[in-house]
A = this chain, B = another copy of it.
Amino acid sequence: MHGEHTHIVDAEAISAIVAKVGLGQLYDLTIERMAAVLTGGSGATVEMKQRDGFLLTTPQLGLLEWMPAVRHGATVSIKMVGYNPHNPVKNQLPTILSTLCAFDADSGHLRAVVDGTFATAIRTGAASALASRVLARPDSAVLGLVGCGAQAVTQLHALSRVFPFAEVLVCDTDVRAENSFAARARLPEGVVRVAALHEVEELADVLCTATSVAPHEGPVIRGTALKPWVHVNTIGSDMPGKTELPLDLLRKAVVVPDHLEQARAEGDCQQLAPEEIGPPLSEILQDTDAHRRLSPVTTVYDSTGLAVQDLVMVEVFEELARELGVGHRIAIEATADDPQDPYSFLPGAVTHSWAARLGSRS
């Protein structure tokens, strides 16, 4: 027996993939693959396990979580996510670090290990684009971004693959983030305009809230002067107590969670009773009339992030890395020629001296 190789898709390989494929095409591919998986397209049956993890208190407060998913007959994925707020100052590392593993669902072989940070950024943008494609008006011309951090960049880029925005209005409680946004989004002068919150709310056809508001300090918008057909993607509500939208708005809108239980635990759906929550996105995607019915009314996509979205990403990056021949291929698993001999992958000389030791303490 010969061990199979594991494809390591490192930061350098991701760079090479983006350079070759193009960032826009990567969003397009992600949106299509995510739609296929969420609608059960190409016979895909997916399953997820509850996100779980360790609360770390030594030496400092942090979290390490895992998010497992399976596409039956194809791939088991597990995303590991570390959340350590002290990282930038203490470890010169980002707060969030993440890696993805993909296992062959037929053999259990570790097929790929992929950076998870960039993949998570792309898939969170792509999920909003997919949701907005069915929930917002197709001719949406103004995008409003409340919160101008890294997530706002990927929201804008993914959504602009689906809508012909003429204008992007942004605001943030941090003036430096507002002013640096256009450059970080790689947009020329004039496309992005920093605006007051009330103006962003009044003019947006599609609105994204992607803030780091503290638990119990929301909402981050007023929601009283929105266009009646506005579609809102709420991205920042991702832990107990942390919500971004006013209750009045949620009660008036059709609220579509990515995952009901998770959104009720960590998303804006925390504020709602079960009967006030609409169908999850996967259900809407399977109903071809939903688009027509929902785009004229106020809608909210409550995005908390799904393990199956990460599964899509690890499959996409593994496939592109193989196609383009980037990354490292390493035979990690020690597979024995003789299943009854735990040492058969070792060179003979390593183990031949065992006899000398039996019967004598050493």
- Is A283 on the interface with B (CB-CB < 8 A)? no
Copies per complex of this chain: 2
0 or 1 for each of A4-28: is its CB under 8 Å from B? (1 = yes): 1010111110110011000110000
Residues of B within 8 A of A104 (CB): 82
Query: In the complex, A96→B334 CA distance in Å?
Result: 11
Residues of B within 8 A of A346 (CB): 14-15, 18-19
Residues of B within 8 A of A336 (CB): 94, 117, 150
- Of B18, B92, B105, the residue contacting A350 (CB under 8 A) is B18
CB of B347 within 8 A of CB of A15, answer yes
CB of A334 within 8 A of CB of B14, answer yes
Residues of B within 8 A of A332 (CB): 8-11, 99, 113-115
Query: In the complex, A98→B108 CA distance in Å?
Result: 8
Given A23-B343, A355-B186, A97:B70 Cβ within 8 A = no
- Is A216 on the interface with B (CB-CB < 8 A)? no
Chain B's closest residue to A338 (CB) is B184
Query: In the complex, A62→B47 CA distance in Å?
Result: 15
- Of B80, B84, B96, B343, the residue contacting A106 (CB under 8 A) is B84
Residues of B within 8 A of A12 (CB): 331
Question: Which A residues, 45 to 68, have Cβ-Cβ distances below 8 Å to chain B?
Answer: 45, 47, 49, 52, 54, 56-60, 62, 64, 66, 68
- Of B15, B56, B165, B353, the residue contacting A105 (CB under 8 A) is B56
- Is A87 on the interface with B (CB-CB < 8 A)? yes
Query: In the complex, A168→B19 CA distance in Å?
Result: 62
CB A22 to nearest CB in B, in angstroms, measures: 8
Query: In the complex, A338→B19 CA distance in Å?
Result: 20
CB of A64 within 8 A of CB of B108, answer yes
- Is A293 on the interface with B (CB-CB < 8 A)? no
Query: In the complex, A336→B97 CA distance in Å?
Result: 10
CB A311 to nearest CB in B, in angstroms, measures: 12
- Is A187 on the interface with B (CB-CB < 8 A)? yes
CB of B82 within 8 A of CB of A108, answer yes
CB of B339 within 8 A of CB of A177, answer no
CB A307 to nearest CB in B, in angstroms, measures: 11
Chain B's closest residue to A106 (CB) is B59
CB of A164 within 8 A of CB of B362, answer no
CB of B113 within 8 A of CB of A113, answer yes
CB of A331 within 8 A of CB of B54, answer no
- Is A358 on the interface with B (CB-CB < 8 A)? yes
Residues of B within 8 A of A186 (CB): 343, 351-355
CB of B93 within 8 A of CB of A8, answer no
0 or 1 for each of A145-165: is its CB under 8 Å from B? (1 = yes): 000111101100100110011
Query: In the complex, A70→B64 CA distance in Å?
Result: 10
CB of A54 within 8 A of CB of B64, answer no
Pick from A34-42, A71-79, A223-231, A233-241 the stretch touching chain B. A71-79
Residues of B within 8 A of A151 (CB): 342
Chain B's closest residue to A357 (CB) is B24
CB of A4 within 8 A of CB of B153, answer no
- Is A33 on the interface with B (CB-CB < 8 A)? no
Chain B's closest residue to A141 (CB) is B359
Query: In the complex, A347→B15 CA distance in Å?
Result: 7
Query: In the complex, A117→B340 CA distance in Å?
Result: 13
CB A71 to nearest CB in B, in angstroms, measures: 10
- Is A1 on the interface with B (CB-CB < 8 A)? yes
Residues of B within 8 A of A101 (CB): 80, 99, 101
